Amino acid sequence: MAKTDSLMTPQRPMISSIIGLRCPVCREGKVFSNFFLKMHSNCPVCGLKFEREPGYFLGAMYFSYGMGIPPLTLMTIFQRWILPERSMISCILVSTLIFLPMVVPIVRYSRVMWLHLDRFFDPQEPS
């Protein structure tokens, strides 16, 4: 496994590496090792440790909240608009069921966005 090289210049644009779920440093190594939520502990290309400290990915919740709440709210409002006789709790439940398949992609992208944001503002490894 290669070590992090401070002189390494990423070839891929940041937005492309986020869309491709790639490492924030080398922008080549994949963050996830399968199609679900299993992550590599270190980047397979540059060796960057993804989880800097315990609880590191709590910051990803800001992104998952931002990606999850607007579609849920809009789906609920849309249902109330087209079916005004339906109860609010029923609309929320239907929206949640429709939303469930999006949970895994949202968690994956929120973690990668958090990695990129954190590494952008704090690229140094903790001592």
- Minimum gap (Å) between residue 94 Cβ and Zn ion: 41
> Which of residues 46 and 106 has its CB atom nearest to Zn ion in the complex?
46
The Cα 8–Cα 119 span in angstroms is 14
Among 35, 4, 30, which Cα is nearest to 19's?
Answer: 30
User: CB of residue 48 vs Zn ion: minimum separation in angstroms?
Assistant: 5
DSSP assignments along 36-75, one per residue: SSPBPSB-TTT--BS--STTGGGGHHHHHHHHHHHHHHHH
Instruction: Tell me the per-residue interface mask from 14 to 53 with Zn ion, x by CB under 5 A, - otherwise.
Output: ---------x-xx--x-------------x-xx-x-----
Residues that bind Zn ion (CB under 5 A): 23, 25-26, 29, 43, 45-46, 48
